[in-house]
Amino acid sequence: MSEKRSSFTGKIGFVLAAAGSAVGLGNIWRFPYLAAKYGGGIFLLVYIILAITFGFALMCAEIAIGRKTGLSAIGAFKKLDKRFGFIGILAAIIPAIILPYYSVIGGWVTKYLVTFVSGGMKAAANDSYFGNFISKPFEPVGWFLIFMGLTALIVLLGVEKGIEKVSKVMMPILAFLTLVIAVYVLFMPGAIDGLLYYITPNFSKFSATTVLAALGQLFYSMSLAMGIMITYGSYMKKDVNLESSVRQIEIFDTGIAFMAGLMVIPAVFSFSGGSQEALGQGPGLMFVTLPKVFESMTGGAIIGALFFLLVLFAALTSSISLMETVVSIVRDKLGWNRKIVCAIVFGFCLAIGIPVSLGNGIWSSFTIIGMALLDFFDFVSNSVLMPIVALLTCIFVGYIIKPKAIIEEIEIGAPFKAKTLFTIVIKYIAPICIVLILISSVLSAFGIMKI
């Protein structure tokens, strides 16, 4: 890039921008359905432990790598050690895999917003509404195109800054509204059982799959292991307290995910008694459950519309951050004009996103290793590639450039309080755990081993 790197004005600016990328569908849509599916409390517990150890260490490392080199992923790894540029390339592939299917879900959110605004809440609260919608051939593709088009337009016109400004106002409102809805849900009949399921760990449900699901979700939700935080770090000023910024981003991101679970899971118990089938339904969970909650509320149509509008903003700030990353990587590599690169990335997303959308309906018989396309892309990015990139990053930091290099970078701004924890996690705990989890999950995905 020929432009000079501008930097965030200070800590608040940095934290808000990084939180804008982190908080998105991962928190509101993905976290609750995984927590419901993987045993409730045990998933939550594993997730929180991973967040304060793995998540913390990796986010510190990534942001410090970015700030130290002033470059985004591909260049940053290469600058630190010529032989390791490939980690950056591998990391850069991930946003390109996520963006198309992320936009399919973004399309669903857009559809629900429009449905609520146009008085369709009653219909949306019907059990079969969601299933009917996503299995249609044209309609979900249309909403995907609208969401994808909006993302591309914002990136093309370079108005991300404007969107980010709006989202800085919207995000706290989203957090507040989620809390209000969660409190309302807790007073619904049967919800307390759901609350207990969500917060009490049941150790008999612990398995390697739970840990892998939580780990993949952690990376996804905090935008880790895909080079994004390296790029954000490259814009961070040297005197900003990196460690406490990371803490704040983590608390905000995990807090919103926790509240989203609090809003969805007890509601599932209230409406369907917490049956295994209802809890394990996967990506549709939020879309099936929340309209029912809104329908039962006074003023639910307005609250529902507001909720989906806010979620749409959270999704857009994340999809913009994904697309921006892909576009800038291609531009850095090929040096092409921004408009052309945007058009190419857009075309690529259509080529992947349309089959993903059709995979929920007329193409549902087309599966890869037994998975529908949406699940397949989700699996490849979150359960395979991200753990691999995280593992390579840990090895790189732990044994090639050494933790000291990162600690020194962090300490330019302020003393690094958790440096011992950081070093132990990066050098030993994270690499060993990731290898074990990866092996067992890949074996089980191919049906070789039951875990």
Q: If binding is defined by CB under 6 A, does position 22 make contact with ligand PHE?
A: yes
228 binds ligand PHE (CB under 6 A): yes
Nearer to ligand PHE, 125 or 290 (CB): 290
C-alpha distances in angstroms, 267 versus 153, 198, 302? 36, 11, 19
Largest CA distance in the chain: 61
Q: Is residue 322 involved in binding ligand PHE (CB under 6 A)? A: yes
Q: What is the token pair recorded at 29?
A: 């849509």
Binding mask 84-123 for ligand PHE (x = CB under 6 A): -----------x----------------------------
- For ligand PHE, give the closer residue by CB, 182 or 229: 229
Options 16, 27, 124, 330; binder of ligand PHE; rule CB under 6 A: 27
Structure tokens that stand for 14 in this block:
């940095």
Long-range contact set of residues 412-420: C-beta below 8 Å, sequence gap at least 24: 412/238, 412/239, 413/238, 413/239, 413/240, 413/241, 413/242, 414/241, 414/242, 414/243, 414/244, 416/60, 416/242, 416/243, 417/243, 418/56, 418/243
Of positions 15, 25, 46, 74, contacts ligand PHE by CB under 6 A: 25
Cβ of residue 307: shortest distance to ligand PHE, in angstroms? 16
Q: Which stretch, 41-49, 66-74, 221-229, 434-442, contacts ligand PHE (CB under 6 A)?
A: 221-229
178 interacts with ligand PHE by CB under 6 A: no
Cα angle 213, 215, 220; round to 5: 95
Q: Is 26 in the site for ligand PHE (CB under 6 A)?
A: yes
Kindly report the length of the chain: 451
Q: Minimum CB separation from ligand PHE for residue 221, in Å?
A: 4
Told to check if 223 binds ligand PHE by CB under 6 A, we report yes
What is the rounded CA–CA span in Å between residue 259 and residue 266? 11
- Considering only the stretches 20-28, 329-337, 338-346, 408-416, report the one whose residues sit in contact with ligand PHE under the rule CB under 6 A: 20-28
HEC-encoded secondary structure of 255-312: HHHHHHHHHHHHHHHHHHCCCHHHHCCHHHHHHHHHHHHHHCCCCHHHHHHHHHHHHH
* Of 24 and 300, CB closest to ligand PHE: 24
217 is an interface residue for ligand PHE by CB under 6 A: no
Give the burial class of 199: count Cβ atoms within 10 A of its Cβ; 0-12 exposed, 13-18 middle, 19 or more buried.
middle
Q: Of 24, 261, 283, 431, which one interacts with ligand PHE (CB under 6 A)? A: 24
| 368: three-class secondary structure by DSSP | strand
CA 323/CA 312 separation, integer angstroms: 16
Query: Which is closer to ligand PHE, CB of 249 or CB of 406?
Result: 249
State how far the alpha carbon of 286 is from the alpha carbons of 252, 267, 292, 313, in Å. 20, 10, 10, 17
Give the three-class secondary structure for 227: coil
- Which residue in 209, 318, 360, 381 binds ligand PHE (CB under 6 A)? 318
**Least CB distance from residue 16 to ligand PHE, whole Å?**
14
Radius of gyration of the chain (CA): 21
Q: Indicate whether 231 belongs to the interface with ligand PHE (CB under 6 A).
A: no
- Interacting stretch for ligand PHE, rule CB under 6 A, among 113-121, 222-230, 259-267, 354-362? 222-230
> Interface with ligand PHE by CB under 6 A: which range of 17-25, 356-364, 408-416, 437-445?
17-25
Residue type, 443: L
Tokens of 349: 């997303």
Q: How far is the CB of 132 from ligand PHE (least distance, A)?
A: 26
221 binds ligand PHE (CB under 6 A): yes
Contact yes or no for 157/338 (Cβ under 8 A): no
Residue nearest to ligand PHE according to CB distances in the complex: 26
Size of the site for ligand PHE (CB under 6 A): 15
Contact, 92 vs 259, CB < 8 A? no
Residue 151 or 270 with smaller CB distance to ligand PHE: 151
Q: Which stretch binds ligand PHE (CB under 6 A): 166-174, 216-224, 291-299, 368-376?
A: 216-224
Q: Does 76 bind ligand PHE (CB under 6 A)?
A: no
230 part of the interface to ligand PHE, by CB under 6 A: no
Could you say whether residue 21 binds ligand PHE (CB under 6 A)? yes
167 contacts ligand PHE (rule: CB under 6 A): no
Tell me which residues touch ligand PHE (CB under 6 A): 21-22, 24-27, 95, 220-221, 223, 226, 228, 318, 321-322
